[in-house]
A and B are shown apart, each in its own frame.
Chain A
Amino acid sequence: MPAEVKERQYQGKVHQLSRELMNAWTSQLARANETGEPTGAIMISGNCVEILRAFDIHPIFPEVTALQNAIRHQSLPLILKAEQAGYSSDNCAYVKADIGLFLSGGMGPGTKMPYPTITLCNYVGCNVYVKWFEHLAEATGSQLFMLDIPFLRTPEPTAADIRYVVKQFEELIRILERISGKKFDIDKLREILGYAARAEEGYARSKELCKRSPAPFDCYFDAINMMGPINVLRGTREAADFFDEAVKEFEGMVAEGAGPLSEERFRMVVEGPPPYPYYRSFRNLFTRWGAVAVASTYSTVGGIWEFGFRHDPTRPLESIAEQMLTENLTNRSIVTRYGQIRRYVEEWRADALVIHSIKSCRLFSAGQGDMREYFTKELGVPTLLVESDLEDPRYYAEAQLRNRIDAFFEALEHKKLVAA
């Protein structure tokens, strides 16, 4: 292996700003716990957080709780607690960590969070969401609303799909009016969507900058700093401002020719969520090789903005429906995802595809062997598939992962040398 590559930017400004914003959000939730302001539990994928915001209902994201507990190495005892209660070792560990937290009398990652006033299941492709929120609603005694988003099974959503979703929005709005005691104000929603669109623009612009070499940030490992603001805080002025700052920061880096590593040797596309319990260790396995993710699918679970879609304040509910139906990774088929990755490989000029296959999330992973077939055999893209989990540390086998990753990049390096 050539001289070791080092990280430059991990604790950069964007990371710091994101942290501050996310901390402010958790403090708001803690306050809501004391003041009794209404809260709504909602999922990350293709979410409609803007609708909750229009009623000043504080959004709670159980997935964020789960991942933060994993990053803090606190997920295993929670998972075990849920397994003692009857959950299977084969069930999604995000759910188990969340339920384990309830069983331990808590809610929220460290900070005490309120129980949700409403549990709003944005069923956007992930069937586990349905179960998760059924269980959550029962555990917290909160009202459950099942927002059923028809899966994208035709090139465009059908007229019936759109009518069904809009009808459900109307029904949801009536419930939110009751919970919040506030009348629905379409102008307020328009304003929120204006902020959302500005944040989306900034996120897309940041990703666009990763087409440059070196990419100014790692669009897998560092994208997490932007996923909080884009998925959790979307629709706030703060999130929109955050992305303006991020773009400035990344543009500066591009001008300087700086990237997240001391050297960018390989440009990769990463598919699948990261192993949160071993985030740093996993990242290091790629850093050693100077491998930088220039694009990732995980960063699009909430919405795919880099291909141009924005919320449209002039068509508020319709554009929220479009985003939920078509403009996010989870409500599309796995084979449609191949097309998304292919674009990344081509337009972001990647050398390789790395598939991180996780046991918990079959939506992501079931069938990724077929994805590997497609990229290696049909497109000739060097592809590595490694397995672990996003929440359960028991599935992370460092030595094995290191061997696979080293062997892959060695071969890739050899190929580069030969080509040169």
Chain B
Amino acid sequence: MAVDQTIDRCRELIAEPLGVIAERWKESHPGGRVAACFPVWSPAELIHAGGMLPLGLLGGGATVELTHADARFQSFVCSISKSTLELGFQGLLKGVDGLVFSNICDVARNLSSIYKRNFPHFHVDYLHLPQNSTSAGVADYTAEELRRVARGFESAFGVKITEDSIGKSVELYNAIRARLRALYAFRIAEPQKLSTVELYLILRALTQADPEESLIRLDELLAELPGREGRPKDRIRVVIEGAFCEQPPLGLLEVLEEAGCYVVEDDLLLGWRWFTSDVPVNADPFRALGQSYVDRAVPSSTRHEGREHRSKGLIEKVRRSRADAVIFTPPKFCEPALFDYVPMKQGLEREAIPHLLVEFEEKMWTFERTRNEVETFVESMLFD
């Protein structure tokens, strides 16, 4: 499939309700089960290893009108939590059997149990991912936590998750992540040939599709992208940071680019490309995954790194991608993103890296103000 066609297909796919995708997959996998993962990281490998389909549970964007969820969650709570709950109320997750949340923030934590109460037919699990990355007990703990999650799926759905099958799933997801790293490297090298909207569509589609199928598409893309047309434009290179959970509207990503930026690095859908190198496939895959969660992790606002300053990973990203600036894109009301903004910004200022703050909401639909702000920022840099 040609690049443009693949990207169009991705665009169609992500416009479909999750339940429709789940039902369609089940038609070709009779008796199959589907589990959807709320950001940021979830062990998709375990779900896949049980013969189930792992999907991303990423809210309702601008398409779902809130009719029930806003009576449950107050006005000062982020949009993704409300629209995700609304998906349940409107039956848009019909076909999805399991949901996984984790300790990324207090809102996600409460959402998890409220989901379970309102929709007892889902198998809902809440994963406590470690925040102490230096304890000698952390790898054992994480391995056990993943075992617990696997046992939960086994007893809820009668599936079998064996060490063997996890090994195979880890290999599959390692392969996918390697392709994603290659796509990110390609965009750093030739951002004019792969826009961020396109890369985001590819990535997001991956969270809504069969992983085997995704791997084939990723290989095709990587083979075809270098031959794509694209003349470099006079734009600044930026890293965007903060939209690791609530999904930015496509319009926002478009505006950033139209206003004169090449986005060369980001933290979009971070959980689906969490590991910086392959997870080892060995005798104890639970431990390998757990250890990797801690040792091979990308920098993330939802994990306490321990030894490093919050800005360190971001500055490394800026250097590695040869970016000129950072645009912070925290979702409105998102505590982890908004808290990290301060030390990150301070770190950037120490390194004289310019930055701009652009808050967003998934349901945002006009971007003119953002366009003006970004254009002014870009101009100030281009003509500095």
For A367, give the chain B residue with the smallest CB separation. B110
Does B116 have its Cβ within 8 Å of any Cβ on chain A? Answer: yes
B41 smallest CB distance to A (angstroms) = 15
Contact assessment for B335 and A91 in the assembled complex, using a CB-CB cutoff below 8 Å? yes
B347 to chain A: closest CB distance in Å?
Answer: 10
Query: What is the CA–CA distance of A344 and B107 in the complex, to the nearest angstrom?
Result: 25
**By the criterion CB–CB under 8 Å, are A88 and B341 in contact?**
yes
- Judged by a CB distance under 8 angstroms, whether B342 is at the interface is yes
Contact between A336 and B113 (Cβ–Cβ < 8 Å)? yes
> Which of B109, B132, B144, B304 is the one whose CB lies under 8 Å from A151?
B109
Residues in chain A near residue B113, CB distance under 8 A: 333-336
Please pick, from A147, A153, A160, the residue contacting B132 in the complex, using a CB distance under 8 A: A147
Instruction: Judge if A287 is at the interface, Cβ distance under 8 Å.
Output: no
- Complex Cα distance A326/B125, Å? 18
Q: Does A130 contact B (CB under 8 A)?
A: yes
- Stretch from B6-14, B70-78, B256-264 at the A interface: B70-78
Counting CB contacts under 8 A, is A186 at the interface?
A: no
Distance in angstroms from B119 CB to nearest chain A CB is: 12
Measured between beta carbons, the chain B residues less than 8 angstroms from A135 are 339, 342-343
Chain B residues near A123 (CB, 8 Å)?
Answer: 131-132, 304
Given contacts A128-B339, A131-B339, A362-B106, 13 further A-B contacts (CB under 8 A): A123-B132, A126-B106, A131-B340, A135-B342, A153-B128, A171-B135, A335-B113, A336-B113, A357-B74, A359-B74, A366-B77, A367-B110, A369-B70
Residues of B near A333 (CB, < 8 A) are 109-110, 112-113, 126
A167 within 8 A of B: yes
A280 contacts B by Cβ under 8 Å: no
Residues of B with C-beta under 8 A to A336: 113
The smallest beta-carbon distance between B86 and chain A, in angstroms, is 13
Question: A335-B117, A367-B72 given as contacts; is B130 within 8 A of A148 (CB)?
Answer: yes
The residue from A90, A357, A369 contacting B71, defined by CB atoms under 8 A apart = A369
- Given known pairs A131-B335, A335-B116, A367-B114, the reply for A168 and B137 (CB within 8 Å) is yes
Interface flags, B323-342, vs A, CB<8A=1, else 0:
00000001011011011111
Across the interface, do B144 and A362 meet the contact criterion of CB distance under 8 Å? no
Interface residues of B in 118-177 (CB under 8 A from A): 118, 125-128, 130-132, 134-138, 140-141, 144-145, 148
- Residues in B with CB closer than 8 Å to A95 are 339
- Contact call B140/A369, Cβ cutoff below 8 A: no
Min Cβ gap A341→B in Å is 14
Least Cβ–Cβ distance between A228 and chain B, in angstroms: 25
Q: B105 touches which one: A168, A357, A362 (CB < 8 A)?
A: A362
Q: Does B104 contact A (CB under 8 A)?
A: yes
- Report chain A residues within 8 Å CB of B81: 366
Asked if B111 is at the interface (CB within 8 A of a chain A CB), the reply is yes
Contact B343 A134 (CB under 8 A): yes
B42 within 8 A of A: no
Cβ contacts under 8 Å, A88 to chain B:
330, 338, 341
Contacts of B130 in A (CB 8 A): 148, 164
- Residues of the B chain whose Cβ atoms lie less than 8 Å from the Cβ of A75: none
Q: With A91-B335, A146-B131, A335-B117 in contact, do A366 and B137 touch (Cβ < 8 Å)?
A: no
> Could you give 14 example pairs across A and B, Cβ below 8 Å?
A87-B339, A88-B330, A90-B332, A90-B338, A91-B338, A126-B106, A131-B335, A135-B342, A159-B144, A333-B113, A335-B117, A336-B113, A363-B109, A370-B118
Which one, A90, A128, A167, contacts B136 given CB within 8 A?
A167
Which residue of chain A lies nearest to B125 when distances are taken between CB atoms in the complex?
A153
- Quick check: A85 and B342 within 8 Å, CB to CB? yes
Q: Which of B85-115 contact A (CB under 8 A)?
A: 103-107, 109-114
Nearest residue (CB) in B for A88 is B338
Does the CB pair B77–A148 fall under 8 Å? no
A92, CB-defined interface residue at 8 Å: yes
Known: A335-B116, A366-B74, A373-B72. A168 touches B140 (CB 8 A): no
Chain A, 133-170, contact with B by CB distance < 8 Å: what is the 0/1 string?
01100100000001110110110001111011001100
In the assembled complex, B309 has its CB within 8 A of some CB on chain A = yes
B107 to chain A, nearest CB (A): 5
- Is A286 part of the binding interface, using a Cβ–Cβ cutoff of 8 Å? no
CB neighbours of B136 from chain A (8 A):
167, 171
Q: Does B306 contact A (CB under 8 A)?
A: yes
The answer to whether the Cβ of A368 comes within 8 Å of any Cβ in the partner chain is: yes
Question: Does B204 have its Cβ within 8 Å of any Cβ on chain A?
Answer: no
B296-318 Cβ-contact flags toward A at 8 Å (1 or 0):
00000000101001100000000
Q: How far is the CA of A131 from the CA of B333 in the complex (A)?
A: 15
Question: Bound state CA distance, A369 and B81, in angstroms?
Answer: 13
Q: CA A147 – CA B141 in complex, angstroms? A: 14
A171 to B342, CA, bound (A): 30
- Contact, CB under 8 Å: A164 / B138: yes
Residue of B nearest to A334 (CB): B110
Q: Is B33 interfacial (CB 8 A cutoff)?
A: no
Q: Is A249 an interface residue (CB 8 A)?
A: no
Check if B72 sits within 8 Å of A163, measured CB to CB.
no
Asked whether any CB of chain B lies closer than 8 Å to the CB of A11, the reply is no
Tell me whether A146 and B137 are in contact (CB under 8 A): no
- Smallest beta-carbon distance B245→chain A, Å: 12
Are B145 and A160 touching (Cβ within 8 A)? Answer: yes
Chain A residue at minimal CB-CB distance from B359: A88
Cβ contact within 8 Å between B128 and A367: no
Chain A to chain B: the 6 pairs with minimum beta-carbon distance, closest first: A160-B144, A167-B137, A333-B113, A164-B141, A148-B132, A131-B339
Report chain B residues within 8 Å CB of A86: 341-342, 345-346
A359:B76 contact, CB within 8 angstroms: yes
Shortest Cβ distance from A63 into chain B, in angstroms? 15
CB pair B304–A134 under 8 Å, yes or no, is yes
**Complex contacts, B340 vs chain A, CB 8 Å:** 131
In contact, A138 and B304 (Cβ under 8 angstroms) = no
Q: Give the chain B neighbours of A368 by CB distance below 8 A.
A: 74
> Is A87 within 8 A of B342, CB to CB?
yes
- Tell me how far the C-beta of B353 lies from the nearest C-beta in chain A, rounded to whole angstroms: 15
> Of all chain A residues, which has the CB nearest B339?
A131
Any B CB within 8 A of the CB of A102: no
Chain B residues within 8 Å of A87, by CB: 338-339, 342
Complex contact A158–B109 (CB within 8 A): no
Q: Which residues of A contact B132 (CB under 8 A)?
A: 123, 146-148, 168
A-chain residues with CB within 8 Å of residue B109 when the two chains form the complex: 125, 127, 151, 333-334, 363
**Complex Cα spacing A126 to B72, Å:** 20
Does residue A406 face the partner (Cβ distance < 8 Å to B)? no
| Shortest Cβ distance from residue B334 to the other chain A in the assembled complex, whole angstroms | 8
A83 to B117, CA, bound (A): 37
Please judge, given known A-B contacts A130-B131, A130-B304, A146-B306, whether A164 and B137 are in contact too, CB under 8 Å: yes
A153 and B105 form a contact (CB under 8 A): no
Residues of B contacting A92 in the complex (Cβ-Cβ under 8 angstroms) = 335
Instruction: Tell me if B343 and A138 are in contact (CB < 8 A).
Output: yes
Chain B nearest Cβ from A332, distance in angstroms: 9
Given A164-B137, A362-B105: A146 and B304 interface contact (C-beta under 8 Å)? yes
The verdict on A160 contacting B106 (CB below 8 Å), with A87-B338, A130-B304 known, is: no
Instruction: Kindly report which residue of chain B lies nearest to residue A164, judged by CB atoms.
Output: B141
Smallest CB–CB gap between B258 and chain A, Å? Answer: 27
Q: Are B114 and A334 in contact (CB under 8 A)?
A: yes
